[in-house]
Structure 1
Amino acid sequence: MLEVASIAHWIQEETGTSVDGIDCALRYAQFRQYDDRVTAHRAESYQSIQLQNAHFAPIMANGYRVSIGFYTEDPTRESVVTYACYGTLLHRQYVLTAASCLEEYRNHSIIVRANEVTKLTPAKVGEFRVVEDSHYLDEAYVARVHIHPEFSEIPLKNDLALLQLDVNEFSFEKSFKPACLWPRDSFKLQEFQTSGHGPRRSAEVRADESLLNDRRSTELYVISKPLTDGCPLNLTQNQICVGDSVTIVPRTCQLNRGSAMSREIWVLNSNIFDYVFAIGSKGENCGFNTPATFTKIAPYINWIDSVMFKGQGKVFDLGIFHDQTQPQFQ
């Protein structure tokens, strides 16, 4: 029997495709959602996915999730917006996110996109692959950024910030509304939903083979569980480790910083509410084999209320975005 390893170089030259194990796994990582362990039902043109069994699944828009973009105003050229963080809409004028993500873009103006609409359609008849068309219906500029007064990058502590939005015309509906915050410091739930992004698309991948045609990354639902093993030694009582003991292909799932750790809960007359328990601060491979760190929300409810309803907090003013005013830190 001939060992494949001995002819790997020849295979690579003939096919023009890398046979490296990591490269191969990355090429097919997007098909993880079609594993039999994940799929609940398949038909000719679609399949349903059991999220509780999945490590990855295509993300569906949360009504409260926003995408946060940063740009530098320059009257001589068109601004390029870098969308690098996510946030949770709490109010028509306030978004909760991770302070550490904002610090990287301290001298930039900020814009948020909200009310994401997603449509999934079969890529080809008879194939279990979908194409996602996703876009945001609303956007708003950020007037002020409220960093938690005790925020620290090293060591990472109190990693929360509130974005105060400019006047906007958000129109809430069933699929687009502010989040509910979990007010208790403890919770007995064992599984939560977070989000991450998949491997960056390479130039060799054809558009019709990508799960998302119009994005440079694939967004994913990730099922996470509270963990104790492998957590950072400097974890504070206001932080929580989440993840999974499973090891995945490196770079196939990176945590969306500022994204929510959430869970649907049945309360009051069988109504379902989607509660946010924590905000993502730091994590490699979305917590698989290396726990991700989240900041719990409950200990900060009073601070959130003080900013939203009393205007207190450590603030830096971003001014009016339609001129060249630079952020003023206080």
Structure 2
Amino acid sequence: PNSKAKQMCFKYSEYVFREEEPPILLAANVEEIKLVKFDECVRSGEPLVVGGTDAMPKEFPHMAQIGYGESPRISWLCGGSLISERFVLSAAHCTKPNNRGPAKWTRLGDLNTATDSDDAQTVIARIAERYDHPGYDAIKLYNDIALYKLERDVQLNHYLRPICLDVGDRSDKSAIATGWGHTEWGGRGSATLKKVSLNIVSTSSCNDTYASSIGRQLPDGIVGSIMMCAGDEQGKDTCQGDSGGPLQVALSEPYCMFAQIGITSFGRACGSNIPGVYTRVSNYISWIEKIVWP
């Protein structure tokens, strides 16, 4: 489907290139200065190891962190992903986590949260409006998806550009989770952005795993049309990711872009070989488009 999300995906892919003016000697006629394009794509081919490896600068330029409280004491407790100049996608359970007050800040373009000398360009923006999916309720684990509108547009560049959204035309066997390890089920988190490759797990096998939780929180079990599961036999679960952060796959087209297929929703314990459960992004495209690109 040639949706708005798909069109924007191609538009944002142009920010893979950095444009600069050529040295003045080349410009005989000033009217005709053509900007020179530099390819700033970063893709690493090496297989991802157990427990996650450090992400490279500019490899995941859509990564966001969600902050609570007031400066200078902001707590960064959830992840998210930049999907346009103005909006971050996250999980609805991140909008008002236990006794933390609402999501107020987003930190974008960061790589290592402990230093400013990393190859990154960090932007901190205030969240002006929060949209939880109307089907979300805090007791059940369904429709765990939220959009955060920033106070102002962020300036896109090769350090900071939106991720594409999966519109439902993919069937991947594996995907990459990224994050600083902000999870409310423990884990101190990591200063450096990590990436980990996970296998997509079938809904039926995921339901077997979560059978004991099926009750108040999952009255209909894991519903495949709106959720998906991913994990690894070796215990690489989403503890390496962030609650609210993206599960993504590399696209061949447009160039150097990822498509977000899932939002980290919940899991059991870190390092267990139990799959994490993700909100299936493709199911929510029309809801997202109405708010982000009306």
Same fold, judged at TM 0.5 (above): yes
Equivalent residue letter for 1:304: I
Tell me by how many angstroms 1:196 deviates: 4.4
2:107 is aligned to 113
Contact 1:159/1:295, CA 8 A, preserved across alignment: yes
Q: More strand per residue: 1 or 2?
A: 1
Contact 1:141/1:165, CA 8 A, preserved across alignment: yes
Report SS of the residue matched to 1:91.
coil
Which of 129, 148, 159 pairs up with 1:175?
A: 159
1:33 is aligned to none
Contact 2:68/2:100, CA 8 A, preserved across alignment: no
2:281 is aligned to 297
Report SS of the residue matched to 1:307.
helix
Matches within 5 A, 1:1-330: 50-52=46-48, 54-60=50-56, 62-72=60-70, 79-104=72-97, 107-108=101-102, 110-117=104-111, 133=118, 136-168=121-153, 170-184=154-168, 187-197=170-180, 217=191, 219-228=193-202, 229-231=205-207, 232-233=210-211, 234-236=221-223, 237-247=225-235, 253-267=239-253, 271-285=255-269, 288-310=272-294
How far apart, in 2, do the equivalents of 1:191 and 1:290 lie?
16
Tell me by how many angstroms 1:187 deviates: 2.6
Identity %: 23
Tell me by how many angstroms 1:285 deviates: 4.9
How far apart, in 1, do the equivalents of 2:86 and 2:253 lie?
27
Residues 274 and 286 of structure 1: CA distance in aligned 2, closer, same or farther (over 3 Å): farther
Residues 254 and 178 of structure 1: CA distance in aligned 2, closer, same or farther (over 3 Å): closer
Of the structure 1 ranges 142-151 and 259-268, higher mean CA displacement relative to structure 2 is found in: 259-268
How far apart, in 1, do the equivalents of 2:271 and 2:165 lie?
23
Q: Deviations over 1:282-319 (max 9, x none)?
A: 12456751110000111101100111234xxxxxxxxx
Tell me by how many angstroms 1:56 deviates: 1.7
User: Does 1 or 2 have the higher relative contact order (CA < 8 Å, sep 6+)?
Assistant: 2
Residues 113 and 284 of structure 1: CA distance in aligned 2, closer, same or farther (over 3 Å): same
Report SS of the residue matched to 1:300.
helix
1:44 is aligned to none
Q: Deviations over 1:119-165 (max 9, x none)?
A: 9xxxxxxxxxxxx9476521111111011001123220000000011
Contact 2:48/2:196, CA 8 A, preserved across alignment: no
Residues 154 and 180 of structure 1: CA distance in aligned 2, closer, same or farther (over 3 Å): same
1:207 is aligned to none
Between Structure 1 and Structure 2, how many residues are aligned?
Answer: 227
Residues 89 and 290 of structure 1: CA distance in aligned 2, closer, same or farther (over 3 Å): same
How far apart, in 2, do the equivalents of 1:253 and 1:159 lie?
18
Structure 1 gap segments, 5+ residues each = 1-47, 73-77, 120-131, 202-214, 311-330
How far apart, in 1, do the equivalents of 2:144 and 2:111 lie?
29
Q: Deviations over 1:269-290 (max 9, x none)?
A: xx33211111111124567511
Residues 106 and 150 of structure 1: CA distance in aligned 2, closer, same or farther (over 3 Å): farther
Residues 147 and 158 of structure 1: CA distance in aligned 2, closer, same or farther (over 3 Å): same
Contact 2:144/2:279, CA 8 A, preserved across alignment: yes
How far apart, in 2, do the equivalents of 1:109 and 1:274 lie?
25
Tell me by how many angstroms 1:69 deviates: 0.5
Report SS of the residue matched to 1:266.
coil
Tell me by how many angstroms 1:53 deviates: 5.1
Residues 297 and 57 of structure 1: CA distance in aligned 2, closer, same or farther (over 3 Å): same
Residues 134 and 253 of structure 1: CA distance in aligned 2, closer, same or farther (over 3 Å): farther
Tell me by how many angstroms 1:102 deviates: 1.7
**Length-normalised TM-score, structure 1:** 0.60
Structure 2 gap segments, 5+ residues each = 1-43, 212-220
Contact 1:113/1:138, CA 8 A, preserved across alignment: yes
**Length-normalised TM-score, structure 2:** 0.67
How far apart, in 1, do the equivalents of 2:103 and 2:81 lie?
19
How far apart, in 2, do the equivalents of 1:59 and 1:49 lie?
12
